[in-house]
Each structure stands twice: as structure tokens, then as C-alpha cells.
Structure 1
Amino acid sequence: MSQAEAAVRPPALRRLSLFRNETVTLFRRWRTLVLLGVLAAVPVLVGIAVKIETGGGGRGAGAHGGDGPAFVGQVTNNGLFLVFASLAATLPFFLPMAVGVVAGDSIAGEASAGTLRYLLVAPAGRTRLLLAKFTTTLVFCLAATLVVAVSALAVGALLFPLGEVTLISGTTVSLGEGLVRALAIAGVVAASLVGVAALGLFVSTLTGSGIAAMAATVGLLITVQILDQFPQLHAVQPYLFPHYWLSFADLLRDPVYGDQLWRNLALQGLYAAVFGSAAWARFTSRDVTA
């Protein structure tokens, strides 16, 4: 398409084109594919480990409470629980680490490669470019979560029986409703990563080194999760972005407990607003020389 044709395109189409280009570029990178491959391998390893350990023998569906890792004890009775167990296993580290790498590299990686100023020369504008980068990172959050969920569902169906789902509250629902709840849980887990995405985007605007931005984002992620484990810090822990991550287990209750779920979503929205605004303020005022 010529520059003249691009100039007369409606603004909405130009914005969509920028977002599409960023998304296509992200998912064509080998690093992104490797991250998704590692995430897809986690349910395979968990499923095989459970199969070997139990020898295929089942355990009572109500043998454990509602904590995330306890889903492992229910996998042998119903392969759908491998989805919940895998999301609980990847959420503390693997999923946020992958998002942190993508978010941290979003702006700093372009500066490090020397392509950032060329992106800004195009009629995109700093605000629109930053928004496209953040939206693309959110798409990756959803894609990464779905990769884990789909991989777990396939492995669970292959290694274990599928059928009616006994919720952690003791209620039995159909497999169809169980799949709907699994999809809702995947959506909540993806939304739980918004805070990491916003934090990583802000860090990415502070440096011109993609590696430094990725390392700093992952380092902050690990530090915050360590702080969330100290009982002495109970007063500030509800404001730490990982604090309510495992609240997705409440979607496996009947009725659903929505208190911590809403707190989690509100907290992620707060982090997106605060660090997204900070990233915008930094990026629109910095001198771009690379």
C-alpha cells in the first residue's frame, strides 16, 4: 500500500493496522514461540507425573480442599481437573514470567534494536504506539493462558477419564458446565496477568536495553511474590498484584464466591491504571535516539 493510500485510511483502520502488525510481529518471534512451547509442556509433565505416581488409580474428588495445588489429587478421577491444576502450577511463576519477558521487551527491545525511532517516524504517535504495545501484551496474556488450558485438556482427556465434574463445594455438574467453568477460569487467570503486563511496560520505558527490562520485570515479579509470603506484611499484601491470583478456585464452588475474584480484577485494573499512566508519562516525554 502506498503512503498516499495509507494517509487517507480512516483513523480507526490505521489504529487497527498498527495493533495487527504488532501482534503478528510478536507471535512470529522465536522467543514467543519458545515461551508458548514451554507453557504447553507444563501440563504434559504434570499429567505424566500424576499418571506415574498414581498408576492410574483414582482418588476421591473431595479429597482436598479448594487450594490450587490440591487439584492434582482430583486429576485421576477427571482429566478436566488437569486444566485447573496446570493453571495453578503455572500461575505463580511460568505464566507471569512469560508475560514479564514480553512486556519488558515491548519498548526497550525496539530501542535496543534501533527500530523505535523508525516506528515513531511513521504516523502512529507515541500514545498510539504505547497502547498498541500494551494491547498486544494483553493478547499474549490470553494466548499463553489458553495454551496451558488447551494443552492440559488434551493431555487430561488422553491420560484420564472425562465425565461429570464434582466441584470443591461437593456439587456435581455436567462435563459441559465444567468446560464452561474451565473457560471462565482461563479468562480470570489471563486477567490476573494484567498487573504484570502494565508493570513490565512501565519498566520497558525506563531503559534502552531489552534484556535489562526483561530481567528487571522478572526480578520485581519474584520479589513481590516473596513479600506476599511473609505474615508480618499482611497489612500491605492485599495490594500486591499476586495476592488474589488463586482466587480462580472460587469458580469451582456452587454458588460461586465472588468476593476475592472481584478484588483480584479490581487490583489488576488499578495496577494497569497506575503503571500504564506512568509508562505513558515516561514514554511521551523521553528523548528517543535509537
Structure 2
Amino acid sequence: MSQADVLPIRPGRPNPLWRLSLFRNETVTVFRRWRTLALLGVLAAVPVLVGIAVKLETGRGGGDGGGGGPAFINQVTNNGLFLVFTSLAVTLPFFLPMAVGVVAGDSVAGEASAGTLRYLLVAPAGRTRLLLAKYASTLVFCLAATLVVAVSALTVGALLFPLGDVTLISGTTVSFGDGLLRALAIAGLVAASLTGLAALGLFVSTLTDSGIAAMATTVGLLITVQILDQFPQLHAVQPYLFPHYWQSFADLLRDPVWGEQLLRNLGLQALYVAVFGSAAWARFTTRDVTA
């Protein structure tokens, strides 16, 4: 006899454990796909490649790599913890959001393409609850993907470079433990920065029955917005583009922390979640599901 069988269920109210099981099932479905595992594998490989490249450059007498390259890369040889910051800075513009766009775009459209969406709605889940479960599982992937990059970078950094006190951007030196906490906070902020894109991908996923089309559209929108964010002529609209403040996580490496850009980033992501989450709900709850 299962736990759900022995717990009393009030008439007219759904079992809370059943609600949790829906979210759990959606999360398990996301992470058991080979495509998801492949995306996580690629994300884990990026810090390895960056770390090896920096180590080889240093071994050839390249010193600290000069002033070029990704953010924080000059500090990696002195402190392996900076490989975490460098890897997040490298993956955030494309690799991380592309992975999130693939998962979010496939969330609803993939079920319709496989012919399983109709059967999910036959169960007493309700469209709203199902949509929330799918978005929540996408958010779990956002966090998991970011942590995969951070943990991989920390492991490689510890193996290839020394670890120690961290010199912040402002010039203040903090302990390794403080730097590690800042790295964890940065990983959480990076994951939160992807929530707006996840909502956009979910909305796109409700517009079509083709998972491939939804994934391609989401990634295409990501690339287009990234390009638009580079034109100085569009400075008036750039603060409203979801990736505009993504690199603001570097402000957590200041003493004191600069909070203005961080709050703008979180506020912008919340706006995208509200707008495109509502649009996804409006579309999905009125959609004629035939597959």
C-alpha cells in the first residue's frame, strides 16, 4: 500500500502528494532524455576545455594570457576558483541559454509531436497544473545546467591551478570560503537569469505541435535578440531585451556588491516570466489538443 493510499483526501481537493508527483514525473522525464544528458555533457566539457587551454598557454610561457579573452580568465592561473566565473561568463551568452531553449521549446510541443499530450490531459491534471509542472521542471534544468558548469569548473580549477584567497574586482581580498559562497550565489543568479528565456520557450512550445520547430524557433529568437543587443543604435530598447543584464553577475565580485544591475536583471526576468507565462497559459488553456 502506498503512502498516498493511507493519507486522507478531502473531497473536492486534489491530493497534495499527487501534485508533487506530477512535477516529479515531469522533471524525471526531462532528465532521462538522451538529448538532455548530451546537453549537460557539453556544458560540463566547456570548463574542461577552457582550463586545459589556459594551462597549456601558461606552460608555453604565455603568463596570465594578456588582457584578452573571456572575463576573469587572467586570474585563473593564480586561483582556480576564477575558472568558475570564467566558465559561467563563457557559457552564459550561448551554451547555457541554448540548452534551456531546447528543453523549454520541447516541453509542450514535444509531447504533442510524440502524441502523448492528449493522454496527459485525459488524467485529472488540468491544463494549468500541467503547464506549471512543465515550467517548474524547466527551471530545475536551468539550475542543474548552471551547477554542472560551476561544479565542473571548480573541479578542473582545483586540479590544474592553486586555490586560495580571492581578490575581488574592487581590489579587496576575501577568504576562499567567502569566494566559494560568492561563486554559489553567482550560479544561482545565472540560473535566475534564464527564467525569462524559459518562459519565452514555453510560450513558443504552446504554439506548435512540432518539437523541432519550437526548439529551433526558441534558439533562433535567442540568437536574434543577442545580435540586437550588440547594436549601439538600439540602445533605447536594449534594456528591455532579456539577455541585456546577464553579465551583471560580475557585480557580486565587488566589495561592496553593486546591486543596481542585479536588481534590474531580476526584475526584467520577472517581467518576461509574467508576460510570456501568461501568454503560454492563455494559449494552452484554450488550445484544441488533437495529438
Tell me the TM-score normalized by structure 2: 0.94
CA contact (8 A) 2:58 2:64 kept: no
AA paired with 1:42?
A: V
| CA distance in structure 2 between the aligned counterparts of 1:198 and 1:171, rounded to whole angstroms | 38
Shift of 1:69: 2.0
Shift of 1:226: 0.2
| CA distance in structure 1 between the aligned counterparts of 2:111 and 2:281, rounded to whole angstroms | 16
Output one character per residue of 1:95-121: Cα deviation in whole Å (capped at 9) or x when no partner: 000000000000000000000000000
Structure 2 counterpart of 1:200: 201
Structure 1 counterpart of 2:249: 248
CA contact (8 A) 1:58 1:77 kept: no
RMSD across aligned C-alpha pairs, in angstroms?
2.1
Structure 2 counterpart of 1:225: 226
Tell me if 1:25 matches 2:33: no
AA paired with 1:81?
A: F
Structure 2 counterpart of 1:216: 217
| CA distance in structure 1 between the aligned counterparts of 2:276 and 2:177, rounded to whole angstroms | 39
Structure 2 counterpart of 1:75: 76
Output one character per residue of 1:217-256: Cα deviation in whole Å (capped at 9) or x when no partner: 0000000000000000000000000000000000000000
| CA distance in structure 2 between the aligned counterparts of 1:72 and 1:47, rounded to whole angstroms | 9
Output one character per residue of 1:145-171: Cα deviation in whole Å (capped at 9) or x when no partner: 000000000000000000000001100
Match of 1:52 among 29, 51, 56: 56
AA paired with 1:29?
A: R
The total of aligned residue pairs comes to 286
Structure 1 counterpart of 2:100: 99
Structure 1 runs (4+) greater than 6 angstroms displaced: none
| CA distance in structure 2 between the aligned counterparts of 1:70 and 1:198, rounded to whole angstroms | 28
| CA distance in structure 1 between the aligned counterparts of 2:276 and 2:71, rounded to whole angstroms | 34
| CA distance in structure 1 between the aligned counterparts of 2:21 and 2:132, rounded to whole angstroms | 13
Output one character per residue of 1:20-75: Cα deviation in whole Å (capped at 9) or x when no partner: 010111111111100000000000000000001111879679x86xx992301110
- What secondary structure, in the 3-state scheme, does the structure 1 residue paired with 2:72 have? helix
**Gaps in structure 1 of 5+ consecutive residues:** none
Does 158-167 or 49-58 show the bigger shift? 49-58
Output one character per residue of 1:237-283: Cα deviation in whole Å (capped at 9) or x when no partner: 00000000000000000000000000000000000000000000000
Does 213-222 or 20-29 show the bigger shift? 20-29
**1:117-196 equivalence runs, <5 A:** 117-196=118-197
CA contact (8 A) 1:57 1:76 kept: no
Structure 2 counterpart of 1:14: 18
AA paired with 1:19?
A: F
Q: 1:53 to 1:212 in 2, by over 3 A?
A: same
Q: 1:246 to 1:107 in 2, by over 3 A?
A: same
